[in-house]
Structure 1
Amino acid sequence: MSIDQINEIVSAADRVVTAIESKAAEIDNKTAQLASDYAGKKNELDKQVAENSAELAIVASAGYRKAIEDASGGRNTIVIDDQGNPNVMVRIPRFNYEDINQAILDRLGVDLMLGTGTPTMFQRNGEQMGEVLIAKYLASAGANGGCSVVGGVQPRTSVNYDVAKALCNNKGAGWHMMSIHEWAAIALWSLANDSLPRGNTNFGRSHEKKLETARRADNGMPGDSSGLARTDTGKGPVTWAHDHTEWGIQDLVGNVWEWLDQMMLDEGQIITTLDNNPAVIEENWNKHTAFFDSPTANTEGTGSAGSPKLSNSVTNRNGPVGNDAYDNPYVTASHFAAIEKAIDYNKIELLRRLLIESESTTTVGGYIYCRNYGNRFPLRGGSWNNGSGAGLGALNLSNTRSNANSNIGFRPAFFA
């Protein structure tokens, strides 16, 4: 083979390689174009799907809300929070202290000395509100790091005070954790209307009416003291609602203790906001001249030091100042309203309105349990195993803000 023939073969081979490379480049370009077109069309489709889904969600939630409102005559509604979670809420319209007090006087023959005017529940930094929306059920798990208020599920528990409060605040403007003002006003309304609720106070059933039951978390037998006896939200009878109807606030008594906002006990001193204003920072809450004193100065052991006493100061402290632990005694009584008042104690109307002190033991029931040392935050209502100690008046002031337990939950509220 001649040199010219070899050169011709090499040249032909180069042309083939060049042609292949050119075709490969052309294919790459077309592939890239197709990929770009696909990505663009997919993004456009995804956007359309998202928009359509959002529209469908709005339509669905509007339909859900209308169905609830129509069925309840407007007493219940649905509020979708900023995290997209549904919340079944009970509308609580404004009422007056004098009407509540008179109804209690007429029915029970006792004057609770609640004063007159608008309950603090309906006052926010002095502004009067026509209604407040309270979660129908205990808070449960929700999407996007939030919580929901829906029936038939397990409540969200094992969250401390600050986490519970943040979960409520993160729902958006107007949302807050249920306050001491809201709880007490609703409790007094129930007392006046002869509709004090029962609840899961005896391991999945009511200790008062043992045929009143709800499904336990462990599917256990009602009354069986073993296992997890926490019940699903709203699964109990209407007598477990604050108004004894299917449209009332469920599970205020028993099941799990509930964190409440706008109150604390600091070294035995009672501190609250003056009205229902969650925007007030803790440092600016009002320090009442009211303390839970102890009948003894005993600081040994971890048992009960006896019944607390309302006083203008602490004479007997059961633990070191600044000590938030549980290594010293506590004080307790079977009924919050039955505790003694010191001779020189100056009664405070706001504390009567908040069911912290009382003019009579003929009122809502529930035990009191507190530590007059360290910084403590309130739980109310009682748990599944508290029996007669549970109730709308039950007040647990033993826990620090960091405590989290399977028998502690919370409830959102909303300023419409």
Structure 2
Amino acid sequence: MEAFVVDSYRRAVEAASGGKNTVIRDKNGNPSVMVVIPKFRLEDIDPSLGTGVHPAFLVHGKEVPEIYYPKFQNIVVDGCGVSQPGVDPAVNVNFDQARAYAMAKGPGWHLSSNAEWAALALWSWKNGTMPRGNNSFGCDIDAPYEHGRETSKDSNRTGRVATGSGPASWYHDGTPFGVSDMNGNVWEWQDGFRTVGGRIWVVGEDGVPMNNFDTQNTKGNNTGWIDTGLCYNGNKITGDAKATANCNTAFENIAGASGVTVPAYFKALALAPIATGLKSDHIWTGTDFTQEFLPIRGGDWISQANAGVFSLLVNYVRSDAGWIFGFRAAYVPR
């Protein structure tokens, strides 16, 4: 089915948002509400990132003018991830399932990539709109008067809330037309980045990180992946072949070990902090230093101050699933 179907639903969404949101349909005709994210350059965010377009807008070396990012954490309809407001987000999804639900939608659809998430996080930081969210049993730990609409219980307290049901401050741009729920509610699987024994791998070509979302992501297959040569080791980034200590600290505390230069693209991919002042967003890495781990980002309803757009948890294998794991399916026209 044609992705960009002009119908009353799409026209209404675009009119209400001034074109910042649109509706894209998958191969089964299921509509997803998407946020249009225009291409931006690294130097427009901060000179320390270098120059050129952000990696989220580089697909196999070609610049794309925009990416379409799901406005809402996804549900699953007809075996596909769907972005719709006011619903209980899908959980109990492992990494491989999340990736399959995204790619089943058709060409151009893919599991949200770490590069895409990082682009949104950096944009929010630059514009002073780092979002709040459901990180404390239905409300925000820093603004307990802000609530979403309950869709699940955690014992006798609120767990998940309906997608997009929070106030404007729960959207990445501080308006109802941004991306919702990037702080808390449920953790979200990200593609395009993984660690093996603590060593950091990212998707790209010729040493350049890119948003090559069609790159295979299977255990032990490194084709299309960049070995960065660096590790999360303790609370530092080191040049060791393998980590010997896990990381558990505020994300803004991560820095290169003595004698190690952290490449600018680590900041661009939100693998290292752009600055201080990133609230209490946290990073955790695994304690099994032989294992491959896949990332989840954002936090959940019990993460409290540790949740946020820079929050990063790299402590789960691809088969792990539970009531904290969700996902989003993004889109780049092919």
TM-score, normalised by the number of residues in structure 1:
0.73
Aligned equivalent of 1:376, options 293, 297, 313: 293
* Higher-RCO chain (CA-CA 8 Å, sequence separation at least 6): 2
- Correspondence for 1:394 among 311, 315, 318: 311
- Give 1:195-274 correspondences, 5 Å limit: 195-218=129-152, 226-227=156-157, 229-273=159-203, 274=209
Within the candidate set 227, 232, 254, 1:292 is matched to 232
Q: 1:159 to 1:228 in 2, by over 3 A?
A: farther
Runs in 1 of length 4+ with deviation above 4 angstroms? none
Higher Cα Rg, which structure: 1
Return 5+ residue gaps in structure 2 as ranges.
204-208
Q: How many residues align?
A: 319
Equivalent in the alignment of 1:149: 83
For residue 340 of structure 1, report the CA deviation from its aligned partner: 4.4
Distance in 2, matches of 1:199 and 1:356, equals 22
Write the distance in 1 (CA, Å) between the matches of 2:84 and 2:262: 40
User: How far apart are the structure 2 equivalents of 1:270 and 1:314?
Assistant: 10
Counterpart code for 2:73: L
Residue pair 1:85, 1:147 contacting (<8 A) in 2 also: no
Mark the runs of 5 or more structure 1 residues left unpaired by the alignment: 1-53, 103-112, 295-307, 319-329
**Cα distance, 1:72 vs structure 2:** 1.0
In structure 1, distance between residues paired with 2:268 and 2:242? 26
Distance verdict in 2 for CA 1:359–1:159, change over 3 Å: closer
Greater share of residues in helix: 1
How many percent of aligned residue pairs carry the same amino acid? 35
Change (3 A) 1:114 1:364: farther
| CA distances 1:174-206 after superposition (whole Å, capped 9, x unpaired) | 101110111111111111111110000100000
Aligned to 1:210, what secondary structure does the other structure show?
A: strand
Q: 1:312–1:344: 8 Å Cα contact kept in structure 2?
A: no
Contact 1:381 1:395 in 2 (8 A): yes
Other-structure match for 1:323: none
Q: CA deviation at 1:339?
A: 2.7
Whole-angstrom CA distance in 2 between matches of 1:346 and 1:85: 46
Contact 1:257–1:408 (CA under 8 A) maintained in structure 2: yes
Q: How far 1:365 sits from its partner (Å)?
A: 4.7
Following superposition, the deviation at residue 228 of structure 1 comes to 5.4
Structure whose residues are more often strand by fraction: 2
Structure 1 residues 315 and 64, CA gap change in structure 2 (3 angstroms): closer
Query: Quick check: 1:203–1:225 contact (8 Å CA) kept in 2?
Result: no
* One of 205, 212, 231 as aligned partner of 1:277: 212
2:117 corresponding residue in structure 1:
183
**Per the alignment, do residues 359 and 229 of structure 1 end up closer, same or farther by CA in structure 2, a change over 3 Å counting?**
closer
Q: CA RMSD in A?
A: 1.9
Q: Which moved more, 1:357-366 or 1:388-397?
A: 357-366
* Closer, same or farther: CA 246–315 of 1 in aligned 2, 3 Å: closer
Distance in 1, matches of 2:285 and 2:21, equals 35
CA–CA distance in 2 between the matches of 1:230 and 1:250? 14
What is the alpha-carbon distance in structure 2 between the residues aligned to residue 80 and residue 99 of structure 1?
32
Distance 2:31 2:255 in 1: 44
The aligned counterpart of 2:254 is 339
Alignment of 1:311-330 (within 5 A): 311-314=238-241, 317=244, 330=246
| Match for residue 169 of structure 1 among 103, 111, 115 | 103
